[in-house]
Amino acid sequence: MPEEVEGQKAEEVPTAGDPAALQAELEASRKQTEELLTRVQYFRAELENTRKRTERDMDQIVRYANEALVSRLLPILDDLDAASASIPDETGRGYALVRENLWKVLQEVGLEEIPTAGETFDPYLHECLHQVNDAGLADGAIKEIVRKGYRFHMKVIRPSQVIVVRKEGENHG
């Protein structure tokens, strides 16, 4: 029988002759080790998932920060287009060169012009400002581009403003 030491019972210590008790203690230790190993693996996986999620979030933050800046630069791009088109001399060519350099930088960060020439009107990419009748073009074709549209990493940040052909007398739902 275990002896009491200062008001507490002493734990039974298995004897060398009790293999069942030693086996039970070994199994309990193995179970505890497996549980701890499982918890460590879980925490390691959770840490890795958190790291990946943080990297993904940081990429999104940078992308959206760039999107805001690029959106604010689009009017400058429009002004450079207008200036280079309206001034026929070398000054106009200078504006065109500045616009070309700005355009290259914006393309490198993910900006692309929405194609409109020869395209059919797409309400997801284009904004129709006016409809006209033109016998030489198909119904729904883009006749004229009023203002260029742009996508940033495949997201439309400004639709193209266009004039669209609409045939007179046809049923348009």
Residues 126 and 166 in one domain: yes
Give the structural domain span for 44. 22-109
Residue at 16 is within a domain: no
Residues 95 and 60 in one domain: yes
**Locate tokens 């280079």: which residue?**
84
Region 150-156: mean pLDDT is: 93
CB 109, CB 70: distance < 8 Å: yes
Q: Is the pTM of this model over 0.85?
A: no
Other Cβ atoms within 10 Å of 35 Cβ, number: 10
Looking at 109, 134, 156, the residue that finishes a domain is 109
Looking at 88, 109, 130, the residue that finishes a domain is 109
Region 146-167: mean pLDDT is: 93
Residue 57's identity, in one-letter code, is D
Q: How far is CA 30 from the centre of its chain?
A: 46
Residue 48's identity, in one-letter code, is E
What integer pLDDT is reported at residue 1 of this predicted model? 46
Number of domains in the chain: 2
CATH number at 139 reads 2.30.22.10
Question: What is the tens place of the pLDDT at every residue in 12-51?
Answer: 555 556 888 889 999 999 999 999 999 999 999 999 999 9
Rounded Cα–Cα distance for residues 22 and 165 (Å): 90
Residues 102 and 126 in one domain: no
Residues 97 and 117 in one domain: no
Residues 33 and 78 in one domain: yes
Region 102-111: mean pLDDT is: 93
Residue 96's identity, in one-letter code, is A
Residues 101-125 as b/e (b if ≥16 CB within 10 A, e otherwise) read: eeeeebeeeebeebebeebebeeeb
